[in-house]
Each structure stands twice: as C-alpha cells, then as structure tokens.
Amino acid sequence: MDKVQNSHDIVKFSRALAMYQLAHLPTRPQTCPFCVQHSEGNRCEGCGYALTHGGKCDAETSAFGQFIEAVYDLAGVIHGLQDGKEPKIDADEGRDLLKQSIRGSRVATKSLIEALPWASTDQFMVIKARYIEEILKEIPSDLMASDEVDVALRYVLDKLKGYW
C-alpha cells in the first residue's frame, strides 16, 4: 500500500484488487454443494439447482450462466481500462478507500466462514449469494473513474439476484 503515491497508482491498485476479488468469487463447481453431490456421471440429473432454477446452471439462459457471463464482462471492462481518467482524490484518501475495500472483503469472508458449518444446502446458497454480493459491493469501482465499470458492476449485481 505504501507504493500508492498518486492518482495513477490508486487506479492501478484498484483495478488489480477488483480483478483479485472477481477471480476469487465462489462460483466454481467445487464451491457448489449441488455440483459436489452430483459429481459423477450425469451430474445435472437430480441436481437441486437444476430443479429449482429451470435447468442446467451452465446453460447460457440460466440465471447462473447469465451471472457468470456478466462477471466475465466486468472483468474484461476492468482489464481493458486505458490510462487516462483518474479519481480526483489525494493518495492518502485513495489508500484509505482501498484499505476499506480490503477490510470489507475480509469481514464478508469471515462472516461466510462462520456461517457455513451450520447451514443447510439452501441456507448455504443464500449465504453464498449474500457473500458474493458483499464482495462485489467492495470492488473499488469509484477509484477506477470509469462509467463503463460502474455500469458493468451494476449489471453483475442485477444478474446476481437470480443466482439463488
């Protein structure tokens, strides 16, 4: 964090932090109780997610598929940002906002870890969706000074509503 000395550094660090946050969302099959339960053979047959959400989660038309595509699109927008527009804040304020984002992500993760041992499958999915929302809201998009990132992030949050 000491290397964040100016607006350019703030944008660069906020982009890297956002990409890290997106990359570590629990959206892989290994973090889904339904995928774990049905990991052999015809894994989607009898899957609780498929039964409650109208089909296979990896279908492009599924709520999960649309959410994942929105996350990929957001990551692409962040990755593709060009140098230029920077937030109008000083380095101290930028560092504080970045620390807030990291702290908020840690609090959300701790809360998730504490809630999981006691959760049923349905509760697990609700807790996981809430965790994903909290992490997405901690993405320091305001520090990237990009309307395109803000729009893409709002779209991801909208698509998350159908996740569970």
Q: How many helices (H) and strands (E) does the chain have?
A: 7, 0
Cα distances (Å, whole numbers) of residue 148 to 74, 100, 140: 9, 22, 14
Could you give the CA distance from residue 124 to residue 115 in angstroms, rounded to a whole number?
Answer: 8
User: In tens digits, what is the pLDDT along the chain, a chain of 164 residues?
Assistant: 667 777 788 888 899 999 999 999 998 877 887 777 776 656 666 677 777 766 677 777 778 888 999 999 999 999 998 776 777 788 889 899 999 999 999 999 999 999 988 888 788 888 999 999 999 999 999 998 889 999 999 999 999 998 87
Residue 40 confidence (pLDDT): 61
**Tokens 């099959």 belong to residue:** 29
Surface-to-core class of residue 59, CB atoms within 10 Å of its CB (0-12 exposed, 13-18 middle, 19+ buried): middle
What is the pTM (predicted TM-score) of this model? 0.88
pLDDT for the residue 41: 55
Least Cα distance to 131 among 158, 154, 113 occurs for 113
Distance in angstroms (rounded) separating the CA atoms of residues 137 and 140: 8
